[in-house]
Amino acid sequence: MLPSAPARHLQRLLLLLLPPLLLLPPPAAPGSLARRAPAAPSRPRTWGTRGPAGSPGRGPNPTGQPGGAHRAGVCQSRPLDLVFIIDSSRSVRPLEFTKVKTFVSQIIDTLDIGEAATRVAVVNYASTVKMEFHLHTHSDKQSLKQAVARIKPLSTGTMSGLAIQTAMDEAFTVEAGARRATANIPKVAIVVTDGRPQDQVNEVAARARASGVELYAVGVDRADMESLRMIASEPLQDHVFYVETFGVIEKLSSRFQETFCAVDPCVLGTHQCQHVCVSDGEGSHHCECSQGYTLNADKKTCSATDKCALNTHGCEHICVNDRTGDYHCECYEGYALNEDRTTCSAQDQCAFGTHGCQHICVSDRAGSHHCECYEGYRLNEDQHTCSVLNKCALGTHDCQHICVSDGTASYHCDCYQGYTLTEDKKTCSAIEEARRLISTEDACGCEATLTFQERVSSYLQRLNTKLDDILEKLQVNEYGQVHR
C-alpha cells in the first residue's frame, strides 16, 4: 500500500534537513530477503585503456587526497555502448523530468565520448516509446547534451518492457551504431522510472541480459522495487539504485562515474616503477625503463646497458656503442677526431671532395665552405647546384654569325649585315647580288621567273665556291703562321 500524501511530504522534508540521508537504500518488500539493509557495494568493477608510456616513476598523488576512483585526473572511463531508457509518463512532472535530463547529462560529462570511445543513445517512454537518437547520432559531448536537453515528455503509462525491447531492436544494433561483439565493447542500459511497469518487464529484461546487455535500474519516489530487481543485472546491490525524489537523482551520477571508471595506478603514483609506468587497463600496469636501461628481475627497477644513452661518455659529437659494452667517439662529416679521442676539429670539405658543390667549392674559415658557379651560370636555392644564366656566353649556341640571348636559358641566331638566316636558323647566306637580280627581272612572266631563278642559283653557287676558296686559303695561312 502506498504511503499517504502527508507521509510522503514528511519524508521529503526530512531529506532536506538531513543531507546524509540523500541516498537511501531500497525499501524492503514485505516477506522478502530485502528486509536487511543492502550490503555495502563491492569494489566497483573497473575497465580502462592502455595509458601513454612515460608517466613519471614514484610521482606524488596528483590531487593530494585519499584514493578514490572518481577523483579528477584519476578516473578513466571505459568505452561503452550506453543507452538511457527514461520514463516520461504523466507522473513525472516537467520540473522532475528536467532533473532526469540533468542526471543523464552529468553522467555524460564523466565519460569519454567519441566514435572510438563511449557512444550514447536515449529511449524515451511512457505508454508509447520514442527513439530520441541512436548511438551513432552524436560523437561529442556538446551536441549530445544539447540533444538530451531537447527531449520532451510523452504521456501517461509506464511501458518499461516495451522500452527495453525497443532498445534491443533499435539501439543495440550495428546499423544504429552499436559495435560488433568482436570489438568487446560493453553494452549498458540505464533504466530510470518512478512507477510500476504496466507490461511484462521481467521476460524482456531477461532476454536483454541474456543477449549481453548490462542493465541498471534507477527507481525514484513511487518506483516498484520488485520490478527494479527484475530489470537489473546481478549483483543487484551494484545495479539497483533508489532515491526518494527527483530532486536528488543527480547525486547518483557520481556512483555511475565510479562504476564506469578504472583506477589508474600510474596516475595515482602507487606503481613503484623506477622509470616508466604503463597502464594496461583494468587497474593493472607494468614498468618499463628509459633508453639505455633494462628492467631488472623485480620488474620495477632498472640497470644501465647503453653507456651512450647515459650521456656520461664525454664525446663532443657522436657516441657509438661497441659490442663489448664499451663505446667510442666519432665526429660529424667535415670534422676529425682529436688525439684525446673525444673532441673534434673542423676539416677542409673542399679538399675531401665531400662538399656536394656542382661546380666550385670555396673553403671558408672554421672548417666551413660554400659553393659557387662557372661564368654564365648562377647558384640555385639549394646552394649546391647551378643553372645556366646566358647560353650565348657559354659558346655552345652553334650560331654561324651572331648569338642573341633571350633570357636566362634561351637564345636565337642572327647574321652580319649583307647576310640572311637560312632555314636551319643557325647559318647565314649573302643577299646583295640576289637583291640586284630581283630588281632587274620581270617577276610577272613565268619564263622570266624561271630564268631569274636559274641565274640566281648559278650566281649563289659561284659565290659559295669563291667563299670556300677564300676560307681554305685563310685556314692554310693561319696554319702556316701557327707552325712556323
Q: What is the pLDDT of residues 282-312, one digit of tens each?
A: 667 899 988 767 889 999 998 877 778 777 7
CA proximity to 230, closest of 202, 209, 191:
202
Q: Where are the domains of the chain?
A: 44-263, 349-389, 431-468
Average pLDDT over residues 312-329: 85
Give residue 4's pLDDT.
43
User: What size, in residues, is the chain?
Assistant: 484
H or E stretch covering 302: strand 302-304
| Phi (first) and psi of residue 10, to 5 degrees | -65, -40
**What distance in Å separates the CA atoms of residue 244 and residue 221, rounded to the nearest whole number?**
5
Whether residue 332 has pLDDT greater than 50: yes
Bridge partners (DSSP) listed for residue 120: 82
Average pLDDT over residues 175-186: 93
The CATH architecture to which 349-389 belongs is: Ribbon (2.10)
CA proximity to 242, closest of 16, 22, 95, 12:
22
H or E stretch covering 462: helix 446-482
Q: At what angle do helices 94-109 and 141-149 cross, to 10 degrees?
A: 170
Q: Which of the four CATH numbers 3.40.190.10, 3.90.1150.10, 3.40.50.410, 3.30.43.10 does domain 44-263 have?
A: 3.40.50.410
Stronger pLDDT, 91 or 39, i.e. the higher one: 91
CB-based contact 156:126 (threshold 8 Å): yes
Give residue 326's pLDDT.
78
CB half-sphere exposure, 237, CA atoms < 13 A: 12
Give residue 218's pLDDT.
95
3-state secondary structure of 179: coil
Same fold for the pair 44-263 and 349-389? no
0.85 surpassed by pTM:
no
pLDDT tens by residue, 205-248:
999 999 999 999 999 988 889 999 999 999 999 999 999 888 88
Share of the chain above pLDDT 70, in %: 75
CA proximity to 83, closest of 183, 221, 196, 177:
177
